[in-house]
C-alpha cells in the first residue's frame, strides 16, 4: 500500500508543469561591440505577435514587435537592435543580433522593455549584461518596464 501511494505521489509530481513565463536577453559588451541573444517562449511569442498585429508570423513582424517593445538607449542615444538570425525550435525563438558600434566608451544604458508583458500574465524579461568577464542581471515586469544601468 505504501509503495502504491508513493508511486501515485511521484507520478503526480513528475507531471506538474513548472512553466515560468520569462524571456531571457543576453547582452554582451566587448569594447564597442554590442551583441545580444534573446530567447522567448515560442507559444507566448507567437500569441503576442498574432494578437498585436492580427497577422501570421513573419520575420518582418518579429522585427517590428521587438523594435516596438524594447528600446535600448546607450549614452543617451537610442539604438536599434539588428536581428541577424532567428532560430525556432519546438519550445523557443532565439534571436541573435547586434547594435551599431560606438566610438565612445559606453557609460550608461537605459532599457525600456514591454515584450510579452501585457500579453502573458506574470511575464518577466530577464536581462543579463556581460561586460569585462562580469555579469549583471535585471528583471523587468509589469510594474517595472524600465531600468538604467551605469556601465563603468
pLDDT band at 1 (very low <50, low <70, confident <90, very high): low
Range of the domain at 30: 20-150
Does the pLDDT of residue 12 top 60, yes or no? no
With respect to residue 9, please indicate whether it lies within any of the assigned structural domains.
no
Query: What are the start-end ranges of the E strands in the chain?
Result: 22-30, 33-41, 70-74, 77-79, 81-88, 92-99, 108-113, 124-131, 134-141, 146-150
Q: From CA 123, how far away is CA 75, in angstroms rounded?
A: 28
Number of domains in the chain: 1
With respect to residue 3, please indicate whether it lies within any of the assigned structural domains.
no
With respect to residue 15, please indicate whether it lies within any of the assigned structural domains.
no
Tell me the pLDDT tens digit for each residue of 31-57: 778 999 999 999 999 999 999 999 999
3-state SS class at 9: helix
With respect to residue 6, please indicate whether it lies within any of the assigned structural domains.
no
pLDDT band at 7 (very low <50, low <70, confident <90, very high): very low
With respect to residue 145, please indicate whether it lies within any of the assigned structural domains.
yes
With respect to residue 25, please indicate whether it lies within any of the assigned structural domains.
yes
With respect to residue 14, please indicate whether it lies within any of the assigned structural domains.
no
Mark residue 98 as left, alpha or beta (left: phi above 0; alpha: psi -120 to 50; beta: remaining): beta
With respect to residue 82, please indicate whether it lies within any of the assigned structural domains.
yes
Amino acid at each position: 500500500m505504501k509503495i502504491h501511494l508513493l508511486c501515485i505521489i511521484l507520478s503526480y509530481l513528475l507531471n506538474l508543469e513548472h512553466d515560468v513565463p520569462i524571456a531571457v536577453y543576453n547582452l554582451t559588451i566587448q569594447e564597442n561591440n554590442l551583441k545580444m541573444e534573446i530567447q522567448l517562449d515560442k507559444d507566448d511569442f507567437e500569441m503576442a505577435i498574432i494578437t498585436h498585429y492580427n497577422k501570421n508570423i513573419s520575420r518582418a513582424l518579429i522585427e517590428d514587435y521587438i523594435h516596438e517593445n524594447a528600446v535600448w538607449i546607450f549614452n543617451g542615444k537610442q539604438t536599434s537592435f539588428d536581428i541577424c538570425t532567428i532560430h525556432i525550435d519546438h519550445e523557443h525563438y532565439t534571436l541573435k543580433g547586434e547594435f551599431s558600434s560606438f566610438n565612445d566608451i559606453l557609460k550608461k544604458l537605459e532599457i525600456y522593455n514591454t515584450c510579452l508583458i501585457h500579453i502573458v500574465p506574470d511575464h518577466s524579461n530577464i536581462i543579463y549584461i556581460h561586460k569585462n568577464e562580469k555579469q549583471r542581471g535585471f528583471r523587468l515586469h509589469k510594474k517595472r518596464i524600465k531600468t538604467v544601468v551605469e556601465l563603468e
